């Protein structure tokens, strides 16, 4: 069971690392034409940018299917990626962007830091000059209370 927890944690952590790199260098790079829909106001619930969630989700599904017969590392890493995706949905889409209005602005210190970092990321609607590309791992400056 310890091994399973380790692979779940690894899948989750790798999603943050790869998510940061993909967001910074690919979404704000060659695939900006897709990602920019997330940086622009929209009157629609879905954005073209949501295709990235389908890509990451499909990777998790493939890993789970490939590893389910023996419950090997692929299965557990797929679970970790899925857990990341669920938390991403609640933090990013529900809590931060309020695409579904279930919660108010965060009051918890950690969640407030994540919220501030993402607000800083969206201060520009341009491909360049964006900051803070991660979701869970963000610069310390966003966790400091403003006077």
* 125-140 pLDDT tens trace: 888 888 999 999 988 9
Question: Which of 79-83, 93-97, 100-104 shows the highest mean pLDDT?
Answer: 79-83
Q: Look up the pTM and report it.
A: 0.89
**Contact indicator for 49, 34 with CB cutoff of 8 Å:** yes
> Quick check: 37 pLDDT over 90?
yes
Tens of pLDDT, residues 40-73: 888 888 999 999 999 999 999 999 999 999 999 9
Pick from 49, 52, 45, 70: nearest CA to 15: 52
> How many residues does this entry show for the chain?
147
Q: Is 72 domain-assigned? A: yes
How confident is the model over 2-7, as a mean pLDDT?
95
Q: What is the DSSP string of 40-97?
A: S--SSS--GGGHHHHHHHHHHHHHHHHHTTTT-HHHHHHHHHHHHHHHHIIIIIIIIS
Domain annotation covers residue 122: no
Domain that holds residue 68: 2-104
Q: Is residue 38 part of a domain?
A: yes
Answer positive or negative: Cα dihedral of 80, 86, 90, 92: positive
Which whole-number Å values give the CA distances from 68 to 3, 4, 53, 86, 98, in the listed order? 15, 12, 22, 20, 34
Q: Per the structure, how many domains does the chain have?
A: 1
Is residue 116 in a domain?
no
């Amino acid at each position: 069971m310890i091994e399973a927890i380790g692979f779940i944690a690894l899948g989750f952590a790798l999603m943050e690392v790869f998510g940061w790199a993909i967001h910074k260098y690919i979404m704000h790079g060659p695939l900006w034409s897709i990602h920019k829909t997330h940086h622009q106001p929209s009157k629609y619930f879905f954005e073209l940018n949501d295709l990235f969630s389908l890509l990451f989700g499909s990777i998790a599904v493939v890993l789970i299917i490939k590893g389910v017969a023996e419950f090997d590392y692929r299965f557990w890493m797929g679970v970790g990626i899925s857990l990341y995706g669920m938390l991403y949905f609640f933090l990013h889409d529900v809590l931060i962007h309020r695409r579904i209005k279930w919660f108010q602005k965060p009051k918890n210190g950690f969640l407030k830091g994540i919220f501030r970092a993402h607000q800083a990321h969206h201060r520009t609607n341009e491909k360049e000059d964006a900051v803070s590309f991660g979701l869970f791992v963000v610069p310390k400056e966003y966790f400091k209370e403003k006077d």
